[in-house]
């Protein structure tokens, strides 16, 4: 059975939707600006989930990144897209969803020449179920103290996704995050 075609929302430079494209074909050396999201998932102890992208991923395989990312489908709310991806990628549910960097945007090129070019609002959430990551999405995962993550990214930025290395300085103020799990 062929998986359903997944579409992404294409954007004009000002962030307004201008069409859709097949997700399987949109990421290339000439990726158009499109809509995405990143989510940083916390547990009840204030630790953040970091995941290592599966080796079969088309972009940045094997690097460590935030908890999960995705693309809202045309007409899908961010909240519904985040809930869908939490289930599809991590086998879990989320609650307490907060937009923390609603205007985050980046462009990056991986070692194979594939470009990510996204308006990518960043959210935090709390896990609301068991964690059961899907192998095709996640090679490894770990709950870490946010300060440890920040130190790891500072020490070895090449081991992390470019969007995570760009998000963390914007997420963390000069003072350390509170133990509540909110950035």
Question: Annotated catalytic sites, by residue?
Answer: 69, 118
* Listed residue (78, 180, 57) closest to 86, CA to CA: 78
Q: Which two tokens stand for residue 119?
A: 């308006």
By DSSP bridging, strand 64-65 and strand 68-70 are: unpaired
Q: Is residue 133 within 8 Å of residue 51, measured between CB atoms? A: yes
The residues with which 95 forms a beta bridge, in sequence order, are 126
Q: Which two tokens stand for residue 135?
A: 């192998």
> Measuring CA to CA, how many Å separate 109 from each of 57, 114, 147, 155?
14, 5, 27, 21
Q: Is residue 21 within 8 Å of residue 8, measured between CB atoms? A: yes
Entry field: residues in the chain: 183
């Amino acid at each position: 059975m062929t998986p359903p075609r997944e579409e992404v929302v294409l954007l004009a430079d000002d962030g307004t939707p201008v069409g859709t494209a097949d997700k399987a074909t949109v990421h290339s050396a000439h990726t158009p600006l499109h809509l995405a999201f990143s989510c940083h998932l916390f547990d009840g102890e204030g630790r953040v989930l970091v995941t290592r992208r599966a080796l079969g991923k088309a972009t940045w395989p094997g690097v460590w990144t935030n908890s999960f990312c995705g693309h809202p489908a045309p007409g899908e709310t961010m909240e519904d897209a985040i809930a869908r991806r939490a289930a599809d990628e991590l086998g879990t549910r989320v609650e307490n969803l907060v937009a923390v960097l609603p205007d985050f945007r980046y462009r990056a090129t991986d070692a194979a020449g594939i470009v990510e070019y996204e308006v990518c609002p960043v959210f935090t959430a709390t896990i609301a179920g068991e964690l059961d990551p899907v192998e095709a999405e996640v090679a490894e995962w770990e709950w870490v103290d946010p300060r440890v993550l920040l130190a790891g990214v500072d020490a070895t930025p090449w081991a992390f996704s470019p969007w995570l290395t760009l998000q963390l300085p914007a997420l963390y103020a000069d003072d350390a995050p509170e133990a509540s799990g909110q950035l």
